[in-house]
Structures are given as structure tokens and as C-alpha cells.
């Protein structure tokens, strides 16, 4: 009896919570300009139809599989569709479902992610897969709010999965969508402001068609990627919204969206060491080392790199401190790599060390002085992920 009472009480509380959420949503909707809402709803319907007719065939769109949509959306966060395709195919071949992703060793996962950057996203994929196996029996939950609680899933990804895979009427707002909306509404507010993103979310959740939310979300993303292009060059004559679009009608489409300039990137000078030696059986090995667990490229392998341009003399001093005596040092050229907040200016040195006393043997690499791990080119190709920041020096090591 007592148990039944508490269940009833809990259900009543849940009901009140839902009512409050609905009231809040209604309150927000009430703040939206009626005319804007009407025009956006009309455009949303047109976009869903346009997408049904013209949407591109992409490997992750063949079925409405939540796992595939999730993986593709995470990969697409900083990379263009064409570049993602080969990564996606390779990833799916090896990790076709949640269970295989939850089981994969981290080193292998990072190798599959090599070249996509933002390695914390790959680590979060695995963390999320483990949690989904434990709490949801291996399927991503069919609910926007539950998705939001999972590692690495933010409002955009949760919206994409919930709407495309499960038909839940929630928007998926990213930079593409904000650009389209700013032009469509002729809105001059700065789209990098969280309040503008929030308003876009509220407007779209009220305006989107409730019977085909996935097609609408895919339609607006597709429009942003293929027609309402960034960089002031929208292809309005090909746009299904041309007649409705306020930005186009007012001749402002090329000036929008307004977006505050990002903070200038910090530049760091780095000296890159390509330390090589031969083993007793004539195999060439290169030293790699794990980066610190926090900060840029956390926990990933790198070619040993040092702060500043320290010159050949500095390199010799550093090697002596590590107990290494080089046979030869030559310059391996300069390179630059741009990360999201920092830029590396690099100066490389190719360093030949005395031969190792032992034969290479498969998988015998172990950490040595300086935290260096000496690996051959096959191991570098197949096993260890080297961030693309070191791409310019790959020709010396592969």
C-alpha cells in the first residue's frame, strides 16, 4: 500500500514537472514575434519538402540508425562532408555498433580517428558507448534530454539524433543553421552570442513541422552546406526560400550573418625532434612520446617537441641531458600548424642516434630515457596515432 502511494506521489510530481516545463515552453513561445513564427513555419515546411526531393545520398542517411547518425555528426563537427566519408567508412567497418565501440582499446580508437583532430571527441565516443551499454542496453536513448546527459553529446548532436533517428520535434542548431536563420530573418544580431542561439532554438522548436522534424533539420543543414553558403556567397537563385527570405528581399544576404571576430590565436614556437636509430637487424626506428594528460593534444603521442626555437646547440644540450649522443644532426625544415586557439611555428631537426643494441622484433617497443618510445614505420602506420600537427615531418618517418 505504502509503495503504491509513493508511486502515485512520484507520478503526480512528474506530472507537475511536465506541466511546468510546458508552461515555460509556452511562455518562451509567447515571446516570439507572431509574424516571424508564421514565416519560419512556412519556410520550415518548404525546407522539409525540398530536402525530400533533393537531399544528397550520404552513407549515414541510408537508414535512420541512431548510432550511425551520432558517429557522423561528431565527425562532421569540424570537418567537411567529403573529407569525413573515408573516415566514416573505415570507422563503421571496424566498429559497426555500440558494443564494438564500447570494447575498442583507446589506442586503436585514436588510430581510427587520426587526421580528424579533436581527439577528446573520440575518447568521449567510447565513454558514451560504455555508458549506453550499461544503462540503455546498447541503444542511444530516444529522448532529447536523456541524450544531453551523455558524455560528448551537446544540444546540437542531441537534437540531430532525437529528430532524425527518433522523430522527436527538437531543433539541431549549429553555425550553419544560425547563418541561414540570420539571413532568412534579416537579423543583425551577433550569432556568436549564446542568447541568439537560444532564441533560434526556441523559434525553430515552435516553427518546425512536428510530423517530419528530422527532414526539416536535415533540410536546413543541407541548405547551409550547399546553398546558403558561408563567406558572403549564398546561391539565392537556387534556394527554396528565396521568395520568403527577408535578407534576400532587403538585399542584405551577403552582409549577414553578423559575427564577432574570434580572439586572435596565440603563436607558439616549437622545436621538433625526429630522433632515429637503427636496430641490430637494420630496422629504422623513430622516437615518439606521450604528451601530458592535460592541455593541447592531451595524452596523445607526438614527435618529441620542445618550447621555443632552441637551435642546434640547444638540441645538443637537451640530448646530452637525456644521455643521448647524436651521430648527426640536420635541419628538417619549418612548418606551421593551426589549432583552434593556438598556432604552432615549428622548426624540425633530424637526429641520427647510435644503433640500438637489440633487434627490433614485433611489438618490443618500451619506454626509454626521456619517455621515448622507439617504433618502426609499420608500427607508426598501423598502431600509433600521430596528430596532424606533425604532418609536415611524416616524410622523414614513414
Q: Which residues are catalytic?
A: 73
Closest CA to 175 of 250, 123, 231: 231
Give whole-number Cα distances, 316 to 104, 294, 302, in Å.
Answer: 40, 28, 20
Taking a C-beta distance cutoff of 8 angstroms, is the pair 126, 109 a contact? Answer: yes
Burial of 357 (0-12, 13-18, 19+ CB in 10 A): exposed
Query: Does 234 contact ligand SF4 by CB under 6 A?
Result: yes
Min dist CB 217 to ligand SF4, Å, is: 16
Is the Cβ of residue 174 or residue 253 nearer to ligand SF4 in the bound state?
253
Q: Is 84 in the site for ligand SF4 (CB under 6 A)?
A: no
When asked if residue 241 is in the footprint of ligand SF4 (CB under 6 A), the reply is: yes
Does residue 48 touch ligand SF4 according to CB under 6 A? no
For residue 257, count CB atoms less than 10 angstroms from its CB and return exposed for 0-12, middle for 13-18, buried for 19 or more. buried
Name residue 348's beta-bridge partners.
272, 333
- Residue 258 in the binding site for ligand SF4 (CB under 6 A): no
Cell numbers given for 154: 551537446
Q: From the list 141, 155, 171, 247, which residue makes contact with ligand SF4 (rule: CB under 6 A)?
A: 247
Q: Does 196 bind ligand SF4 (CB under 6 A)?
A: no
Q: How far is the CB of 256 from ligand SF4 (least distance, A)?
A: 7
Please tell me the count of residues contacting ligand SF4 according to CB under 6 A. Answer: 14
Query: Taking the CB of residue 243, how many other CB atoms lie within 10 A of it?
Result: 10
Q: Is 393 in the site for ligand SF4 (CB under 6 A)?
A: no
Nearer to ligand SF4, 126 or 248 (CB): 248
Q: Under a CB-based contact definition with an 8 Å cutoff, are residues 259 and 190 in contact?
A: yes
Rounded to a whole number of angstroms, the minimum distance from the CB of residue 252 to ligand SF4 is 9
228 binds ligand SF4 (CB under 6 A): yes
Asked if residue 50 binds ligand SF4 (CB under 6 A), the reply is no
What's the chain's Rg over C-alpha atoms? Answer: 26
Smallest distance, ligand SF4 to C-beta of residue 173, A: 15
Smallest distance from the beta carbon of 278 to ligand SF4, in angstroms? 59
Q: CA–CA separation, 44 vs 385, rounded Å?
A: 42
**Cα torsion for 331, 337, 343, 349, to the nearest 10°?**
-10
The one among 50, 184, 301, 390 contacting ligand SF4 by CB under 6 A: 184
DSSP element (H, E) containing 179: helix 175-185
For the CA atoms of 3, 7, 13, 14, what is the dihedral angle to 10 degrees? 150
How many angstroms separate the CA atoms of 170 and 161, rounded?
Answer: 10
CB of 36 vs ligand SF4, minimal distance in Å: 14
Peptide bond into 257 cis (omega under 30): yes
Query: Which is nearer to ligand SF4, 176 or 205 (by Cβ)?
Result: 176
Question: Looking at 39, 73, 187, 253, which residue binds ligand SF4 (CB under 6 A)?
Answer: 253
Contact flag: residue 245 with ligand SF4 (CB under 6 A): yes
Kindly tell me which residue out of 242, 278, 352, 368 binds ligand SF4, with binding defined by CB under 6 A: 242
Binding mask of the shown chain, residues 163 to 182, with x at each position contacting ligand SF4 by CB under 6 A: -----------------x--
> In whole angstroms, how close is the CB of 246 to ligand SF4 at the nearest point?
8
Which residues form the interface with ligand SF4 (CB under 6 A)? 180, 183-184, 227-228, 234, 236, 239, 241-242, 245, 247-248, 253
Amino acid at each position: 500500500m505504502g509503495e503504491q502511494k509513493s508511486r502515485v506521489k512520484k507520478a503526480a510530481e512528474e506530472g507537475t514537472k511536465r506541466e511546468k516545463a510546458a508552461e515555460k515552453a509556452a511562455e518562451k513561445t509567447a515571446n516570439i514575434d507572431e509574424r516571424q513564427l508564421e514565416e519560419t513555419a512556412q519556410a520550415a515546411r518548404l525546407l522539409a519538402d525540398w530536402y525530400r526531393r533533393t537531399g544528397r545520398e550520404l552513407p549515414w542517411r541510408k537508414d535512420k540508425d541512431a548510432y550511425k547518425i551520432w558517429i557522423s555528426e561528431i565527425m562532421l563537427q569540424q570537418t567537411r562532408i567529403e573529407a569525413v566519408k573515408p573516415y566514416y567508412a573505415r570507422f563503421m567497418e571496424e566498429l559497426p555498433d555500440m558494443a564494438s565501440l564500447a570494447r575498442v582499446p583507446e589506442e586503436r580508437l585514436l588510430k581510427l580517428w587520426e587526421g580528424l583532430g579533436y581527439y577528446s571527441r573520440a575518447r568521449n565516443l567510447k565513454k558514451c558507448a560504455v555508458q549506453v551499454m550499461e544503462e540503455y542496453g546498447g541503444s542511444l536513448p530516444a529522448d532529447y534530454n536523456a541524450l544531453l546527459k551523455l558524455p560528448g553529446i551537446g544540444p546540437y548532436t542531441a537534437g540531430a539524433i532525437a529528430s532524425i533517428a527518433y522523430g522527436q520535434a527538437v531543433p539541431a542548431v549549429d553555425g550553419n543553421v544560425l547563418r541561414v536563420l540570420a539571413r532568412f530573418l534579416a537579423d543583425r544580431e551577433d550569432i556568436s552570442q549564446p542568447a541568439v542561439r537560444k532564441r533560434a532554438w526556441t523559434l525553430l522548436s515552435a516553427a518546425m513541422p512536428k510530423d517530419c522534424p528530422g527532414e526539416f533539420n536535415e533540410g536546413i543543414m543541407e541548405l547551409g552546406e550547399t546553398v546558403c553558403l558561408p563567406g558572403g556567397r549564398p546561391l539565392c537563385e537556387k534556394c527554396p526560400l528565396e521568395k520568403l527570405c527577408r535578407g534576400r528581399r532587403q538585399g542584405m544576404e551577403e552582409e549577414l550573418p553578423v559575427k564577432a571576430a574570434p580572439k586572435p590565436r596565440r603563436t607558439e614556437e616549437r622545436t621538433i625532434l625526429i630522433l632515429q636509430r637503427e636496430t641490430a637487424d637494420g630496422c629504422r626506428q623513430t622516437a615518439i612520446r606521450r604528451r601530458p594528460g592535460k592541455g593541447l593534444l592531451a595524452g596523445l603521442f607526438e614527435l618529441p617537441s620542445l618550447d621555443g626555437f632552441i637551435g642546434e646547440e640547444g638540441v645538443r644540450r637537451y640530448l646530452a641531458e637525456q644521455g643521448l649522443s647524436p651521430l648527426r644532426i640536420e635541419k628538417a625544415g619549418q612548418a606551421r600548424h593551426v589549432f583552434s586557439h593556438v598556432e604552432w611555428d615549428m622548426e624540425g631537426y633530424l637526429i641520427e642516434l647510435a644503433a640500438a643494441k637489440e633487434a627490433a622484433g614485433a611489438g618490443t617497443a618500451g619506454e626509454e630515457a626521456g619517455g621515448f618510445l622507439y617504433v618502426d614505420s609499420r608500427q607508426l602506420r598501423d598502431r600509433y596515432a600521430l596528430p596532424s600537427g606533425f604532418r609536415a615531418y611524416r616524410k622523414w618517418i614513414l
